[in-house]
Amino acid sequence: MEEIKGFDLINLQEIPIEETSLDFVPKAFDDYLGQKDLKEKLKIYTQAAKMRKEPLDHMLLFGPPGLGKTTLSQIMASVMEVNIKICCGPLLERTGDLVAILSGLEPRSILFIDEIHRMPTVVEEILYNAMEHFKIDVIIGQGAGAKSITLPVSPFTLIGATTKAGMISAPLRTRFGITERLDFYEPEDLAKIIKQSSKFLQFSITDEAALKIGICSRGTPRIAKKLLRRVRDYVQVQNKSSIDIQETEKALEFLGIDKNGLSTIDNLLLQQIIEKFNGGPVGLETLASIIGEDKDTIEDVYEPYLLRLGYLEKTPRGRQIPSKMQTKLKQKFVGQISLL
C-alpha cells in the first residue's frame, strides 16, 4: 500500500507512533508495567511462535479503553521481529479496504484492528477465510457477469481489540485462538508508570506524588499520563522544578478532582442522586437529563469507576447509591449549594 508522509491511505493513521508520541511507549515486555499475568502469557506465546518461525495465533484482546491493548500488540511485533499494520474497525467501510490491507501483508505480519466490534458485517466476513485458510474471496464484475476468485494472502496474525467483547459476532469470536482480558491497574502500578513517563518528559516527581496521581487515575494508564501532563503544566507555571505531593494536591484540586479521585461530574452525579432522589433508584435517562450529560457517556465513562468503588449500583429500577455510602455522601455534600 502506497504511503505518503507517513500516513496510511486506508485509515489516515500515522505510522511512526514512536516518533510523534508525547508519552513513553514501551518497546519490550520488561518496559511494559502492569498486567503481570497477561504479560507472562504473551511472552510465552510470542517466543514459541518465533522459535517455530510461524505467525502467532489470532488473538482477541478486550477490556476498558486506555489499558494498553495497542501497546502490547506493538511489543509482540517487536519481539517477533515482524511488521505490524494498525487500523480501526469503523474506518474499514468497504470490503476493498480490507482486501487491500490483507493483500499487502508480509509473511508473519500482525494486523491490529482496534474497535473490531464496530467493523461492518460485510467487511468482517472477508476475515473468516483469511483467518482460517489465508485466502480471500473477491467478487469481480456485477450482475450476471460477476464471478468469484480466490486470492492467497501471506500467513498473518490478526489481533482484534475491543472494549465490548459481547458485541463480537460468534463466527468471528470462535476464530480467535487466544482470548485475553486486560484488567484495571492498581494505584501502585500506575505510580510506576507515572514515574516512567516523568523520566521521558524530563521532569522529576516524588514517589508520594506519583502514587497520589495513580489513585486518581481510575485504574487507567492513559488517564494517569494525561493527569501527569496537566499536573506538570500547573507546577511549571508555579516555577517549580519538580512535582511534590503538596503541588500535586493543589493541581488536582484545580482540575476538579477530589482526594478519592472523583471528578466534578462524578460528584455532581452522586450529589443529584442524594439530593433529588434520596439515594435512588433513578433511571439513567432521567439522571442524564438532570446533570446535562449524554446517557451513553454516563454509562461508558463515569459509571464503571463509580460502580467499581462502590459508590453506585445498578438495580432493575435504575441507579442508586448503596445504603452504606449514603451517609458518607450526605456528610460530604452537606452545606453545599446544588450546582443545578
End-to-end CA, the chain: 54
Contact between 236 and 197 under an 8 Å Cβ cutoff? The reply is: no
Catalytic pick among 95, 157, 162, 163: 163
List the one residue out of 86, 80, 83, 81 whose CA is nearest residue 45.
80
Q: What does each C-alpha distance from 306 to 79, 190, 263, 333 come to in angstroms?
A: 37, 19, 11, 17
Q: How far apart are CA 64 and CA 58, in angstroms?
A: 20
Catalytic residue at 157?
A: no
Q: For the purposes of burial, counting CB atoms within 10 Å of the CB of 258, is it exposed (0-12), middle (13-18) or buried (19 or more)?
A: middle
Q: How far apart are CA 80 and CA 52, in angstroms?
A: 11
Catalytic residue at 163?
A: yes
Give me 107's grid cell.
Answer: 509473511
Catalytic residue at 222?
A: yes
Catalytic residue at 114?
A: yes
Catalytic pick among 97, 114, 189, 266: 114
Catalytic residue at 70?
A: yes
- Three-class DSSP category at 138: strand
Contact between 242 and 285 under an 8 Å Cβ cutoff? The reply is: no
Catalytic pick among 70, 71, 206, 286: 70
Contact between 327 and 290 under an 8 Å Cβ cutoff? The reply is: no
List the one residue out of 280, 289, 217, 283 whose CA is nearest residue 248.
217
Give me 202's grid cell.
Answer: 524530563
Around 334, how many Cα atoms within 13 Å sit in the side-chain half-sphere?
7
| Cis peptide upstream of residue 281 (ω within 30 degrees of 0) | yes
Give me 179's grid cell.
Answer: 482470548
Q: Which residues are catalytic?
A: 69-70, 114, 163, 222
